[in-house]
Each structure stands twice: as C-alpha cells, then as structure tokens.
Amino acid sequence: MEVRNHTLTLIVNNKPDVLARIAGTFSGRGFNIENISANITLDPTVTKITIVTRGDTATVIKIKKQLKKLVDVISVTQHENGSSQQREMILFRIETDGTNTREITETAEKAGCSVISSTSEDLVIEWTGTAEKADDVIRQLSAFSIRDMSRSGIVAL
C-alpha cells in the first residue's frame, strides 16, 4: 500500500498531559508524527491538535482507532485531499551582507513571503502556504544566507 502523509485533526480535552498521551500513543505503537500543531479553540476547555503522520492507509486506520480509545480525545477526523485547506508557516532569519537587503526582499515577496522585521544585520521573513510549496520557497531563499528557520506544524480546516 502507498505510504504518504495523512493529516488528522483531533479535538481533545484541554488538560496538561493530553499531548503526552497522544505523542505516547504514536511512539509506543511505532507510528510517526511528521509534524504537529496545537492550540485552544473558541471553547477554551478543548484543544484542537493537527497531526501529519506518514504511513499506508491501513496504518492510518490503526492510528485513528488507537487515538479514539484515549479518554481525553473527543474526536478524530482525517482530512481528505482536496476537501480541506491546509497551511503551514515558516519564519526565516536571513543574514544581509549590507548590500543585498533589497534583493532578498524582492525574492521573498515574489515567493509569497513578507518581511516582518528588518535590521542592519538580518531580515525576518514570514511565509504561509501549503506543505507542497514549502520546499520550493526554502530553495529560493537558500540563495541567501539563511541563519535560522522555524517551521510550524500544519493547521487544517
């Protein structure tokens, strides 16, 4: 069976150890977390967690069943390709050499990024988009000196 990324959204009770339970379910049963994001919802007593996992269809079915068994997990839904919107965010800190600030800015904006802070030494650039496009953006900005980079987990709706 084809191994690919699958995006799951979990609605869980907002308790201190709920993330540990979920992460432990993945590690204890040999499943992978590619990336993860979590935050409270409009109802502060519940948290929405989005997890991208890698595996074949049968594995993802097993993962969903195991997650549904956790007492603090209220629901598990799988995002089907095409019927959901998924985004991740990347922040880049790019070193300037004193002359290329404008060039970096132009390249970044062309790639769909925005500059959110700028000093004489570096620029911090934000990008939001789909996981498929992220590698492309990283490649384009790699022409410059990327000093640091932070990628978020996927959020999906």
Partner 1 sequence: MELRGCEILIKTLLQEGVDTIFGYPGGAVLDIYDELYHSDIRHILARHEQGAAHAADGYARSSGKVGVCLVTSGPGATNTVTGIATAYMDSVPMVVLTGQVPTRFIGTDAFQEADITGITRPCTKHNFLVRRVEDLALTVREAFHIARTGRPGPVLVDLPKDIVQASIEYVPAPDPADTADKRTVTIDESQLRHAFELIDKAERPVILAGGGIIMGNAADDLHRFASRLSIPVTSTLMGMGSFPGTNPLWLGMLGMHGTYYANMAVSECDLLLTIGVRFSDRVTGKIASFASKAKTIQIDIDAASINKVFSVDIPIVGDCKSALQLLNRFVDERTDTDSRNQSQWLDQVAEWKRDTPLKYSPNGGTIKPQNVIETLYRLTEGDAIITTEVGQNQMWAAQYYHFDKPNRFLTSGGLGTMGYGFPAAIGAQAAFPDKTVIDIAGDGSIQMNIQELATAVSHKLPVKIAILNNGYLGMVRQWQEIFYGKRYAHTDIGETSPDFVRLAEAYGATGLRAMKTEDVEPTIRTALEIPGPVIMDFVVEAEEGVFPMVLPGGSISQMALDNTEPANK
Query: Which stretches of the chain bind partner 1, using CB under 8 A?
Result: 17, 20-21, 24, 28, 58, 61-62, 65-66, 68-72
DSSP β-bridge partners for residue 52: 7, 35
Minimum gap (Å) between residue 28 Cβ and partner 1? 5
Q: Residue 22 or residue 108: which is nearer to partner 1 going by CB?
A: 22
Those residues with Cβ within 8 angstroms of residue 79's Cβ, 6 or more apart along the chain or in another chain: 6, 7, 8, 9, 86, 156
Q: How many CB atoms lie within 10 A of CB 95?
A: 14
Which stretches does DSSP call E strand in 2-121?
4-13, 35-40, 46-55, 73-79, 86-95, 114-118
- DSSP summary character for residue 4: E
Q: Residue for token digits 């970044």?
A: 108
Minimum gap (Å) between residue 103 Cβ and partner 1? 49
Q: Residue 69 or residue 110: which is nearer to partner 1 going by CB?
A: 69
Q: Residue 69 or residue 102: which is nearer to partner 1 going by CB?
A: 69
Q: Residue 40 or residue 61: which is nearer to partner 1 going by CB?
A: 61
Minimum gap (Å) between residue 77 Cβ and partner 1? 15
Minimum gap (Å) between residue 137 Cβ and partner 1? 38
Per residue, the 3-state secondary structure of 131-142, as one string, reads: HHHHHHHHHHHC
Q: Residue 54 or residue 62: which is nearer to partner 1 going by CB?
A: 62
Minimum gap (Å) between residue 71 Cβ and partner 1? 4
Question: What value does the CA radius of gyration of the chain take, rounded to a whole number of Å?
Answer: 19
